[in-house]
A and B are shown apart, each in its own frame.
Chain A
Amino acid sequence: MLEIVTFSLLNGVVYGLLLFMVSSGLTLIFSLMGVLNFAHASMFMLGAYFSYQIGRWIGFWPALVIAPLVVAAIGALIERYGLRHVHRQGHVAEILFTFGLAYVIVECVVMIWGRNPIENRVPAAIDFPAFWIFGTSYPAYKVLMMAISVGMFAFLYFAFRRTRLGLVIRAALTHPEMVAALGHDVPRIFVLVFAIGSALAALAGVIGGFALLTEPNMAAALGPIVFVVIVVGGLGSIGGAFLASMLIGIVQTFAVALDYSLLDLFSAMHVTLASDSPFHELAAVKLAQAAPMIPYLLLVVMLILRPRGLLGTREA
């Protein structure tokens, strides 16, 4: 039992950090520009595909750096030559633009790499057991995933809190007009933040690509969960996004590991449910089967009980 708990906790933290890398960029973009970026998970997917391709050409370590930079450039182009023009028409048009973009990016990925999952294996450089617990090895690449995401946040935190550029960005989050009046180029800050957010998502894609399956569907699979994270955490709150990422990552990982259903709970409480009852099938659903529903249930419960999210300041 302790073994399951330890491994689930470790895997949950890795998954949660991955979620946070994607959702922190999304919530940053949302709080600065008010844009709900539906193409954000596509950036995650592009990161995975680019790192696979670049990794095949020149190796994994350069790919780890180059792939997020390429995606950052793509993000900057999208903001500069797409979103900025739609901005005048309001937020709904912006959402729709990114929504259409997500469609197109998926099809472009299919056009280049095909419709089937690609063989994005764990690179040999990091494919060894990092340590042993309970007689089972824990792979090094998961440790690397943890290290990279924690390192990235330390870097970002420092950049935001201790540099002049970070100060300007933080000011533009809350008072864009004032920042512009002081002579700063706010549209350029938009481009920069969009690029940073995209790069974060892409970095998560690089290290998550071989842990999850690299396929054209991966953006559509991750996108809704990331949206849940930013609503549950509180729209625009980075700290809330972190809490929500960890919560969802750990709860979902535990749910997958636990092979119990309500029926088991009932029988433990010496209650029996007739097998012809309409609720029998519902109660027989294993927790592991219901795991995909958990983030969305959390979303609905959160909206009923606490609409502004865990750490949100404004009511959702």
Chain B
Amino acid sequence: MKADGLAGAAADRPPITHALASLRGAPWLAAAVALAVLPYVPGLDGNFGRSLLSQMGIAAVFALSYNLLLGQTGLLSFGHAVYFGLGAYASIHLMRAIDGGLPIPMPLVPLAGAAAGLCFGMLFGAVTVRRAGVVFALISLGIGELVFAAMRILQSFSGGEEGITANRGLGPHPFGFTFGPQIQVYYVIAFWAMVSALLLAAFLRTPVGRMCNAVRDNPERAAFVGYDPVRVRFVAFSVAAMFAGLAGGLHALNYEIVAAEAVGAGRSGAVLLMVYIGGVQHFFGAVLGAVVITWLQASLSDYTGAWQLYVGLFFIAMVLFAPGGLSGLLLVHRGIVRSRAFWAVLGAYAIAAVPFTLAACGAIALLEINYRRATQPDAGATVRLLGRNLDTSTPWPWLAALALLVIGALLLRPSLARVKRAWTEASEQAKSPAAPRPAR
């Protein structure tokens, strides 16, 4: 982990191979085994489960690339989908060429996405990384809108809103794999996700990866040490764009269709939500966020049209109360997990969960009733909620939901105080001077 060790070894070998060798093997091996086994776990072994896993893999690569920008280099981008989408377009065009007889096996298609992402990343990066912070955020937004508008105009390249399609089942079939069935596509995605994660983790351990953090924390000092912050940002931006393009290539392979929305602001916003909710301070936070948000998207959208509202509220709650994200919330427990009072903390959590669930149920019921009545006015006053039909023309469902919300909120206060007390005790027992403060 020490920077001086890296600098000495960099003389004979490329830094990235040295960094790859320095990664600890066990967690990565475990991740690889998990990726291999997951599509056969009961519940995930159906078509839905496997396509969900594939989506999670794509989102994870995209989120990891975004975390290199936001988490590691401190560049808040609102247009990262540009490189995802352009990579997806490059890949789908390559797939069409393969459909037309070009002898390249389909699993190599995402490399075209990576190449396109890298090229466009270098092109736009040259103009945009001169300043970090707010200005970079604004420019990235503008470039995102520019590319989106361009994709809607250039119909023959992009297919506009309808998109263009290809068939992943054609082309050479190495070892008899056709890449038609979802399971085979899943393994292609899992392979590339693993490769991307390894390379990105290794990149962060190279000298330039370390300088990304330095430039994020204090660009002036980085400049005084002799590293041009603009060049470091440019490298980080290009690498991030390359992996976003790779994720786009996986997207093209998985869906066999790419439309203008692939470069759109919605996708750029979604990856920001994923990475922030997962937590920007830890490498695996982006993966966690990608998995959680993709799962929410897939499962919530079946039950409610308002799922974006819940994701938005969740995001605001994270910004307000847990800036470290989900991974940050998990990792603050590392300090106290061995203390005896840890069980008391878990107990306090369990108690606090009751009023929280009450309040959440009340709030969700109110939101759902409102939402259904506003978006489906023709469906009448009867709203089906949790398997029961509620007649919302009477005041009772509204009052019951409101009562749940109020009672839950009133009980939440004392139970949170209890959590805080348990935390204080546990962190005192852990006796570590660096014991993290309680997460509220």
Q: Which residues of A contact B (CB under 8 A)?
A: 30, 34, 36, 82, 85-86, 89, 91-93, 95-97, 99-101, 103-104, 106-108, 110-115, 220, 224, 227-228, 230-231, 235, 281-282, 285, 289-290, 292-293, 295-297, 299-300, 303-304, 307, 315-316
Contact = CB atoms under 8 A, between A and B. Distances in A.
A100 B150 contact: no
B319 A112 contact: no
A296 B149 contact: yes
A304 B141 CA distance: 16
A231 B320 contact: no
A36 B323 CA distance: 18
A316 B153 contact: no
A104 B139 contact: no
A93 B280 CA distance: 12
Contacts of A303: 127-128, 139
A216 B370 CA distance: 16
Given A34-B134, A104-B316, A281-B154, A115 B76 contact: no
A186 to B, nearest CB: 21
A34 B137 CA distance: 13
A82 B320 contact: yes
B413 interface: no
A96 B319 contact: yes
Given A100-B315, A107-B312, A281-B154, A95 B134 contact: yes
A218 to B, nearest CB: 14
Contacts of A99: 269, 272
B139 A299 contact: yes
Contact of B374 (A96, A113, A292, A297): A113
Given A97-B320, A227-B141, A289-B153, A296 B146 contact: yes
Nearest to B311: A103
B389 to A, nearest CB: 21
Contacts of A296: 142-143, 145-146, 149
Dominant SS at the A interface?
A: helix
A297 B127 CA distance: 13
A304 B127 contact: yes
Nearest to B126: A304
A47 B120 CA distance: 39
A234 to B, nearest CB: 12
B384 interface: no
A41 to B, nearest CB: 12
18 contacts: A36-B137, A91-B133, A95-B134, A100-B319, A101-B312, A103-B269, A104-B312, A106-B308, A108-B309, A110-B371, A230-B138, A231-B139, A289-B153, A290-B149, A296-B145, A303-B139, A304-B127, A307-B130
B397 to A, nearest CB: 16
Contacts of B370: 111-112
Contacts of B306: 107, 110-111
Nearest to A298: B142
Contact of B149 (A95, A97, A292): A292
Given A92-B76, A111-B309, A293-B150, A101 B316 contact: yes
B360 interface: no
